[in-house]
């Protein structure tokens, strides 16, 4: 039990459900907020109370600071948990919560502002003697400055949003003549996503690993790192598969990465859970990328390996409690893998697949965990992120975790929308993944063969469905009964395609 009585969860989907569950275990009442299209969402049904905050567009609901603060006041909540995405890394939101007398379950506004501005974060990393990818320290004032900086850095370069992450506002540029158009697109995307169109440049590292370190700090000076996560398998700069520990990181590199992450967090005056991200090359040289001032989507793999409940710790720290353990007390056991179950068609350019979930069966068994934000009958809206659920497994070692994940993906059933399940299953089977030969270019490299396999499975499923339908029709005719509906076979075809 913490000193918090009631927490408003300023989010939706699986992370809202995750936080509500943690609150329940701690004896804390939970308050959900919802847009018009989320009225019947799982997080709304699970919370002790729920308040409407506006229409479907995020700008009018989940990004509306005044409406969320008003809901917190109306509910009598004494704290607000932002989850991830939406307002989680918005210093103005944290300040608005504090001004309203609400505890913000996250870092202080000053730390959010310092690390949320990626250029300011790079300055902190530089001052802490943490290696960085060569690039601009300040946001670029215009195209001429960008061109001069790119020539100085050397192509290829990566354009990045100064005030956000998650793959938005990023563009890889190989040639000088492509830079102006890429800048326009990156600035437009950054402005839309984060309300700030500022961008900066970094030298593009080709095929590095994306490895991040989880840190946890209290308000009493205590700070620890909880090891690394391998997040190299990405599509469009957004993570798809994460694991802990990284198959590439040895004890020496883990210590160096952890020490660098702690230095950065301490310099920023950080409190609560946060993640310091690095790019790592084939020679195990690492470079500071950014710090995410929030709970990460992939936090469960760290929980599975360390036994530390990160959301519970967030709530404890926000209530003013000390961590209660030191770095030497943190231990890692076994291996954990997380797969993101998104409502997307992986074999059609990862296009979103909105619709209604008409059938759903999650896998289970020893050391299998599903963090889901949906249930059967849920409507997947085009207005929000495509993440439906996260499937997490633990194994005594990495091969055991891979085998368990492959089995769990084979049991996953989602009917009504396309999902990433078939692609994830084939990733688990791929020899490069099993051997730990990973980089941020992994998916681009292997996707053609995964797509080819997907086409074969779909063709087989359609033939099987047609044959099954024929046999059912034939059997009904022999029995003299009515012919069954033709839709049944096609429904099974879709299901078979989703689960190879």
Structural contact between residues 124 and 268, judged by C-beta atoms closer than 8 angstroms: yes
Q: Strands 413-415 and 272-280, how do they pair?
A: unpaired
Instruction: For residues 129 and 491, give the distance between their C-alpha atoms in angstroms, rounded to a whole number.
Output: 57
Q: Which residues pair with 239 in a beta bridge?
A: 234
Contacts (Cβ under 8 Å, ≥6 apart) of 86: 10, 11, 58, 62, 63
Place of tokens 């292997």: 446
Q: Is 294 a catalytic residue?
A: yes
Q: Which of 272, 379, 363 is nearest to 322 (CA)?
A: 272
Q: Would you give the DSSP letter of residue 89?
A: T
Q: Is 64 helix (H, G, I), strand (E, B) or coil?
A: coil
Structural contact between residues 25 and 312, judged by C-beta atoms closer than 8 angstroms: yes
Chain centre to alpha carbon of residue 223: 23
Cα torsion angle, 211, 212, 213, 214, sign? negative
> 141 to each of 94, 114, 117, 138, 460, how far by Cα in Å?
28, 19, 15, 9, 55
Left if phi > 0, otherwise alpha if psi is -120 to 50, otherwise beta: which for 334?
Answer: left
Helix and strand numbers, DSSP H then E, in the chain: 16, 22
> 196 to each of 92, 187, 191, 233, 405, how far by Cα in Å?
13, 8, 5, 28, 39
Instruction: For residues 57 and 421, give the distance between their C-alpha atoms in angstroms, rounded to a whole number.
Output: 28
Place of tokens 């900066």: 200
Q: Which residues pair with 361 in a beta bridge?
A: 413
- Annotated active-site residue in 122, 171, 294, 404: 294
Instruction: Tell me the catalytic residues.
Output: 294
């Amino acid at each position: 039990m913490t000193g918090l009585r009631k927490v408003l969860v300023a989010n939706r989907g699986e992370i809202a459900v995750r936080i509500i569950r943690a609150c329940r275990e701690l004896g804390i009442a939970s308050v959900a907020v919802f847009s018009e299209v989320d009225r019947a969402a799982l997080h709304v049904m699970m919370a002790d109370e729920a308040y409407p905050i506006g229409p479907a567009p995020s700008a009018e609901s989940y990004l509306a600071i005044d409406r969320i603060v008003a809901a917190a006041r109306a509910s009598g909540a004494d704290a607000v948990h932002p989850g991830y995405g939406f307002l989680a890394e918005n210093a103005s939101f944290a300040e608005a919560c504090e001004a309203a007398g609400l505890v913000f379950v996250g870092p202080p506004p000053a730390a959010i502002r310092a690390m949320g501005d990626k250029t300011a974060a790079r300055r902190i990393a530089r001052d802490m003697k943490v290696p960085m990818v060569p690039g601009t320290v300040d946001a670029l004032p215009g195209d001429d400055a960008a061109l001069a900086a790119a020539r100085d850095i050397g192509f290829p370069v990566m354009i990045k949003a100064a005030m956000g992450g998650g793959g938005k506002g990023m563009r890889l540029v190989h040639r000088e003549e492509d830079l102006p158009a890429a800048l326009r697109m990156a600035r437009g995307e950054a402005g839309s996503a984060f309300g700030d169109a500022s961008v900066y440049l970094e030298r593009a590292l080709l095929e590095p690993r994306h490895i991040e370190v989880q840190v946890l700090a209290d308000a009493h000076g205590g700070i620890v790192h909880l090891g690394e996560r391998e997040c190299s398998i990405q599509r469009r700069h957004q993570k798809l598969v994460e694991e802990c520990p990284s198959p590439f990181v040895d004890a020496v590199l883990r210590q160096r990465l952890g020490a660098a992450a702690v230095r950065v967090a301490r310099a920023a005056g950080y409190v609560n859970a946060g993640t310091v991200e690095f790019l790592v090359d084939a020679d195990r040289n690492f470079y500071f990328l950014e710090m995410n001032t929030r709970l990460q989507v992939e936090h469960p793999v760290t929980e599975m390996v360390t036994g530390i409940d990160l959301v519970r710790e967030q709530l404890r720290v926000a209530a003013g409690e000390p961590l209660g353990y030191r770095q030497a007390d943190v231990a890692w056991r076994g291996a954990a893998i997380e797969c993101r179950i998104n409502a997307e068609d992986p074999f059609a350019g990862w296009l979103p697949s909105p619709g209604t979930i008409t059938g759903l069966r999650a896998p289970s068994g020893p050391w299998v965990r599903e963090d889901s934000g949906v249930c059967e009958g849920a409507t997947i809206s085009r207005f929000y992120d495509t993440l439906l659920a996260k499937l997490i497994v633990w194994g005594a070692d990495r091969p055991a975790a891979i085998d368990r994940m492959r089995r769990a993906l084979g049991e996953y059933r989602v009917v009504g929308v396309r999902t990433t399940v078939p692609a994830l299953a084939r990733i688990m089977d791929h020899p490069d993944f099993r051997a730990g030969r990973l980089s941020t270019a992994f998916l681009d490299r292997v996707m053609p063969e995964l797509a080819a396999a997907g086409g074969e499975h779909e063709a087989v499923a359609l033939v099987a469905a047609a044959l099954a339908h024929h046999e059912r029709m034939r059997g009904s005719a022999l029995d003299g009964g009515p012919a069954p509906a033709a839709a049944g076979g096609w429904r099974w075809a879709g299901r078979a395609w989703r689960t190879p």
